[in-house]
Amino acid sequence: MSGKIHGRSTIKANGKTYKTMKGATLDPGGISREPKPGDNDADAYTETLDASTMECSIQIREGTSLAEIQALTDATLMFVCDTGQTYMIRKGYCGPRPTIVGDGTIKATFHGAPAEEMR
């Protein structure tokens, strides 16, 4: 069976699309389970809730604002795959501080509530 494989992502914050470089990543967050084996079995675990993490390199073009990106809080973030999957992060924020890189990009990391796959 042949078909398209994910290769490009579109990153949006509050409806604004950022011009990003190849290689954006999304950790959807959610429930993480850690094994808690006992003396006689290994079927126990604990759960923690992790924030989502989205990382990308934003092209610095005319009008690109580092301050605007850094100030993002309580944002609706979208990670859109070129294969049709879309993930929404509510209550998103930029953190740690974004940095300007010598290749003409801003390295930005965003966090928020666990990502929801939109259907």
Task: Taking residues 76-90, report their average pLDDT.
Answer: 96
Dist CA 69 CA 109 (whole Å) = 10
Side chain identity, residue 37: P
Q: Span 65-76, mean pLDDT? A: 97
The answer, yes or no, to whether the previous bond of 96 is cis (omega within 30 of 0) is yes
Tell me, yes or no, if the pTM score tops 0.85.
Answer: yes
Across residues 89-113, what is the average pLDDT? 97
Per-domain residue ranges of the chain: 9-118
Sort residue 83 into left (φ over 0), alpha (ψ -120 to 50) or beta. alpha
pLDDT band, residue 1 (cuts 50/70/90): low
Q: Which two tokens stand for residue 49?
A: 């809730």
Task: Assess whether pLDDT exceeds 80 at residue 33.
Answer: yes
Instruction: Specify the CATH architecture of the domain 9-118.
Output: Beta Barrel (2.40)
